[in-house]
Amino acid sequence: MAGLPRVLLTGFEPFGGEPVNPALEVLHELSGERIAGHRVEPAALPVCFTDGPRALIEAIERVGPALVVCVGQAGGRARLSLERVALNLADARIADNAGAQPIDRALIEGAPNAYFSTLPVKALHASLNQHGVPAELSLSAGTYVCNAVFFALMHHLSTRRPEVRGGFIHIPYLPEQACRHPGAPSMSLATLAKGLGIAIGTALETPSDLVVAGGVEC
């Protein structure tokens, strides 16, 4: 499999007092997997506004992927959230793991205010739901490190590697995390791994997104 084209899959270390991060755990599950003729290459990112994007760019340049999928924890969400928009904005409710807490700051000075994902998100949404994995389209990746990495990804691909597609997927808590947060939804690691595998395969096999309604009224 050494000669296979590659998919870069990234996840984050734990943050916000959580002992685990489902994005890091699912990274271990899919590392080295072969999906649609591509090998999954993992990269763990620090939850840091400066080092997270830097580690992502270094991984892209090291791996030379055909596709990049970044994954992050979104406690409180019940479905895989297929993010559509990355904002050029840092506004941190809590400090990152390096102690930084930027407020109302541009992530990259002089860059566009926003980028859209280049993943076929509507096709991913349809495929995940058809395979029994709860999924949704999302218009907000937040303004924390997940969004910072998402924006850095799209800026780098747009300016340096336009032939590569990429995007961001938020995932729910694991059940053991939800036990510490009464009322919070969760998803098993097996379902998360299944869903991300489906998303990667669909992205690789879908050159153009579905033309179907996916907007919201408010």
Active site residues: 83, 146, 170
168 forms bridges with which residues in the sheet? 70
Q: Measure the CA–CA gap between 34 and 216, rounded to whole angstroms.
A: 35
The full length of the chain comes to 218
Pairing of β 80-83 and β 165-171: antiparallel
- Helix, strand or coil, per DSSP, at residue 54: helix
- The residue type of 186 is S
Structure tokens at 181: 């947060």
Task: Work out the number of other CB atoms within 10 angstroms of the CB of residue 22.
Answer: 29
CB 203 within 8 A of CB 124: yes
What 8-state DSSP symbol labels residue 66?
Answer: S
Residue 103: partners with Cβ closer than 8 Å, 6 or more residues away: 90, 91, 92
93: enclosing H helix or E strand: none
Half-sphere exposure of 86 (CA within 13 A, CB side): 30
- Helix, strand or coil, per DSSP, at residue 48: coil
